Amino acid sequence: MSILSGKNILLGVTAGIAAYKTASLVRLFIKAGADVKVVMTPASKDFVTPLTLATLSKNPVHYSFTNEEEDNGVWNNHVELGLWADYFIVAPATANTMSKMANGVCDNLLLATYLSAKCPVYFAPAMDLDMYKHPSSLASFKKLESYNNIIIPATSGELASGLIGEGRMAEPEEIVSFLENDILNTLPLRNKKVMLTAGPTYEAIDPVRFIGNHSSGKMGFELAKAAANLGAEVILITGPTHQKVAHSSIQVVPVISAQDMYDAAHQYFKNMDIAILSAAVADYKPKNVATQKIKKKDTTLTLELEKTKDILASLGQIKEKQFLVGFALETNNELENAKGKLKKKNLNLIVLNSLNDKGAGFKKETNKVTLIDVKENITEYALKSKAEVAIDIFNQIIKQIHA
Ligand code: CTP
């Protein structure tokens, strides 16, 4: 899966002959799973039609400050468009537009959108070879780079003028892979390996029965997705759940019992940089598992239970470089209990869930957490979706790793 999947890509088209190639570029972005919107300079419509790009991007294309079709004075909101984008790619980027952007000129919708965008901005210049080498173009590139914008270098080849040299816009495929590589290289968890445990464990009573719990696994799966989106290679060890994930950087290791989870966690832990144990592991399991289905005979049945191994504590004992995170689900004396677990299990960070908070805990779409680090710094978060909580947790981990 491409790193661009699910991302909002704003394509800015300016008036160069290479604009005809933006039809392919939009298709490649869509194929990568991105949502695409296009903003054009008025002159670029001579090279490619808004209808073509609107059809391919499945979104209306704008090129003026007011609604183009109905001419009814309805404003095309450049601020909204700029804030919507995760990435803004200006392709082709003409000398004229780049010079205007470098100097804050804002006399069309695309230029205004550029000034409103907070996301990374990429330029794929396209111009004749002498224009590309001109000191004023080089000055524009430099100035744009000083604003942290990124130039996708033009390539050499035959130009619209018939001359041969540097100035050809990078091919659409090259633009897409440039963008993918650049994003991957700037992700905060690139080259990091993250292990997660998720979901419940089932402890067999006999061949058809087990002791389990209501954990949905949702929090662990959201953590896995967040880690992968931040560039990590992820091992997701999960008990039985209905959660699904499809991401090339996430390897799912399905397990059933606490012992299976223990074995898998110990198999992978050595090579990990970060481990987050969010599974609701059974604390006890039947001491003897019946090999045949237990028949109902007496009015009562007594099961003898024995403790499972504490996976988190066992990893705390052997950890070296790993950043180890545990969860604590508490109903009373929450902060003190969580701090106690952090120390006892030798963790770097603990995520406290209080069952007293509405909207937190098992089988919910939301969660409310408090993070406690080894220095006992306490950060309390608002009630959020589990996907957002996962990002909060990783932001805190990244901050601590780089501290
Ligand atoms: N955990 C684990 N293995 C177990 C039990 C728990 O890895 N056998 C992990 C959980 O994944 C979680 C953390 O330990 O990250 C806290 O679990 P919790 O059940 O809240 O704490 P316990 O230490 O088991 O204490 P208690 O049940 O008494 O509150």
> pLDDT tens, 184-216?
999 999 999 999 999 999 999 999 999 999 999
> 42: pLDDT confidence band, cut at 50, 70 and 90?
very high
Q: What is the pTM of this model?
A: 0.79
Give the chain's mean pLDDT: 94
Tell me the CA–centroid distance for residue 328 and ligand 1, in Å. Answer: 7
pLDDT of residue 73: 72
Beta strands 8-13 and 35-40: pairing type? parallel
Q: Are 8-186 and 193-401 equal in CATH topology? A: yes
CB atoms within 10 A of CB 375: 8
Tell which wins on pLDDT, 226 or 70. Answer: 226
Instruction: Indicate the SS3 state at residue 303.
Output: coil
Residue 14: the pLDDT is 98
Q: Taking Cα atoms as reference points, which of 60, 65, 68, 85 lies closest to residue 76?
A: 65
Report d(CA 154, CA 92) in Å as an integer. Answer: 10
Q: Are 135 and 143 in contact (CB under 8 A)?
A: no
User: What residues does ligand 1 touch, defined as CB less than 6 Å away?
Assistant: 197, 258, 277-279, 281, 283, 308, 310-312, 326-329, 341
Tell me if residue 95 falls in helix, strand or coil: helix
Atom of ligand 1 nearest to the CA of 309: 8
Whether the per-residue pLDDT at 78 is higher than 80: the answer is: yes
Other C-beta atoms lying within 10 Å of the C-beta of residue 99: 16
Decide if 182 contacts 174 (C-beta within 8 A): no
Cis peptide before 188 (omega within 30 of 0): no
Q: Is the per-residue pLDDT at 246 higher than 70?
A: yes
What is the phi/psi pair of residue 312, to 5°? Answer: -60, -50
- Does residue 276 surpass a pLDDT of 90? yes
Q: What per-residue confidence (pLDDT) applies to 132?
A: 96
- Give the active site residues: 213
Residue 351 has pLDDT above 90, yes or no: yes
Per-residue pLDDT band for 363 (boundaries 50, 70, 90) equals low
**Contact residues for 267 (Cβ-Cβ < 8 A; gap 6+):** none
pLDDT confidence of residue 68: 67
| Residue with CA at minimum distance from ligand 1 atom 8 | 310
Contact 10, 113 (CB under 8 A): yes
Residue 248: pLDDT band by 50, 70, 90 thresholds?
confident
CATH 2.40.50.140 fits 193-401, yes or no: no
Please state, in angstroms and rounded to a whole number, the distance separating the CA atoms of residues 41 and 53. Answer: 13
Q: Which CATH architecture has domain 8-186?
A: 3-Layer(aba) Sandwich (3.40)
Which of 379, 371, 392, 204 is CA-nearest to residue 282? Answer: 204
Calculate helix-pair angle for 135-146, 95-102, nearest 10 degrees: 50
Write out pLDDT tens, residues 306-321: 999 999 999 999 999 9
Quote the strand ranges of 305-368, DSSP E.
Answer: 305-307, 323-330, 349-354, 366-367
CA distance 198 to 223: 9
Domain boundaries, the chain: 8-186, 193-401
> How much distance in Å is there from the Cα of 280 to the middle of ligand 1?
7
pLDDT tier at 358, thresholds 50, 70, 90? confident
Query: Whose alpha carbon is nearest atom 4 of ligand 1?
Result: 310
